[in-house]
Structures are given as C-alpha cells and as structure tokens.
C-alpha cells in the first residue's frame, strides 16, 4: 500500500490535502489565468471543490492515490497541489504513475513547483520504487513542460484528442521520467 505522506523541502510542506484547503483550492482553480494555461475548466462552485477534496482524502487513505497540498513552510499558506496515481490501478505492483500539479499564479516563477516536484519525485522513486512517472501537459503550457524537462523528464510524443474542454478537443504532450534517470 502506498500512503500519501508529508514531504518537507527547504521552503515548502507537501502534505495530504485536507478540507481546510477548500477555499484556497477553489480560488486557484477559479483563476482564469491559471485555467487558461493549465487547460482546465473553471469549477462551478466551492461545494464542488469541497466534495472533490473529500474524494481525494478517501483515495489518499486507501493508498490508491496521493494528493498533496503545497504550502509555504513559514506560514502554511496553500499555494498549489500535486497528485500521483497509478496508470493501471488494477495491476499490481504499481510500476507506472502519473503526476499532475498546479500552482497559484502569484507564486509562479519563484522555483516553488520545481522544489515541490523534486521532493515528491525523489520520495516516490526512493520509497515507492516505481519504474516511471509520466505527465500529460496541455499544449501551450510551456512553464509546466519546462519544469518537467528541468527535472529530467523526456518528451515522448503528442497524444491526439487527449482532452475535451468546453466541447473542444485538444492534443496533449506526454513526458516521462524513469527511475534512476531523475535529476542527474
């Protein structure tokens, strides 16, 4: 079983997401600049985010999922989130995982996401011992692609018709990092 543990870096605490994160998470997901870059739909209500966090908490407890709130170490301010989940949950051991992440625009270009992902990935490869982690990135989300490349992820190709938002279908780029190749 893979539990969602707390990971501490120089400036951040990456801890399991909690209901107390609802307002900050809703604010992040509702930010139009964030939604445009991330290629996500804006949530319709705070209640939707609240119920989604409850589902994430249940999945975290089951060991099936890892959804972490990214918080500043000095004041516990929620600035983003990071998630990991197995590609094929029905087949064990879980050798391949997907990573997803988001960060509040006011904290962009400060190195926070690189720092958080570096810690989460190191922990995941060391303690979970998976073979690889992949990431799907909305085409045009250059900041996320750049962070992944800096972490050692390799571009594996374009996935056609991977995402549908507001009745429009989008292609996505896929990146992957193999255990042992990270952060050389």
CATH of the domain at 170: 3.40.630.30
In a domain, 184, yes or no: no
CA distances for 166 relative to 25, 34, 35, 39, 41, angstroms: 21, 16, 12, 10, 7
Query: Domain count of the chain?
Result: 1
Residues in contact with 57: Cβ distance below 8 Å, sequence separation at least 6, in sequence order: 16, 17, 18, 19, 67
Name the CA dihedral angle for 66, 16, 57, 139, rounded to a multiple of 10 degrees: -50
In a domain, 92, yes or no: yes
Residue 174 contacts residue 157 (beta carbons within 8 Å): yes
In a domain, 183, yes or no: no
pLDDT value for 182: 56
pTM of the predicted model as reported, rounded to 2 decimal places: 0.89
pLDDT value for 51: 92
CA-closest candidate to residue 151, choices 174, 130, 176, 172: 176
pLDDT value for 1: 47
In a domain, 2, yes or no: no
d(CA 5, CA 66): 8
Q: Which residues of the chain have pLDDT under 70?
A: 1-2, 39, 89-93, 182-184
In a domain, 16, yes or no: yes
pLDDT value for 184: 47
Give strand ranges (E) for 30-179: 66-72, 78-86, 96-103, 132-138, 154-165, 168-178
pLDDT value for 129: 72
Partners of 116 in the beta sheet? none
pLDDT value for 162: 79
Q: How large is the C-alpha radius of gyration of the chain?
A: 16
CA-closest candidate to residue 130, choices 173, 88, 160: 88
In a domain, 114, yes or no: yes
What length does the chain have? 184
Owning domain of residue 88: 7-178
- φ and ψ of 41, to 5 deg: -85, 145
């Amino acid at each position: 079983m893979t539990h969602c543990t707390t990971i501490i870096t120089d400036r951040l605490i990456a801890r399991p997401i909690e209901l107390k994160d609802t307002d900050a998470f809703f604010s992040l997901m509702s930010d139009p600049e964030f939604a445009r870059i991330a290629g996500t739909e804006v949530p319709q209500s705070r209640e939707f985010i609240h119920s989604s966090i409850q589902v994430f908490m249940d999945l975290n407890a089951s060991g099936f999922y890892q959804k972490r709130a990214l918080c500043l170490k000095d004041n516990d301010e929620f600035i983003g989130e990071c998630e990991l989940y197995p590609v094929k949950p029905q087949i064990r051991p879980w050798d391949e995982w997907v990573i997803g992440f988001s960060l509040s625009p006011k904290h962009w270009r400060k190195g926070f996401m690189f720092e958080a992902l570096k810690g989460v990935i190191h922990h995941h490869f060391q303690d979970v011992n998976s073979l690889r982690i992949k990431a799907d990135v909305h085409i045009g989300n250059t900041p996320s692609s750049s962070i992944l490349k800096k972490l050692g992820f390799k571009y594996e190709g374009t996935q056609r018709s991977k995402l549908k938002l507001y009745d429009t279908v989008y292609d996505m780029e896929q990146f992957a990092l193999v255990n042992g190749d990270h952060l050389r």
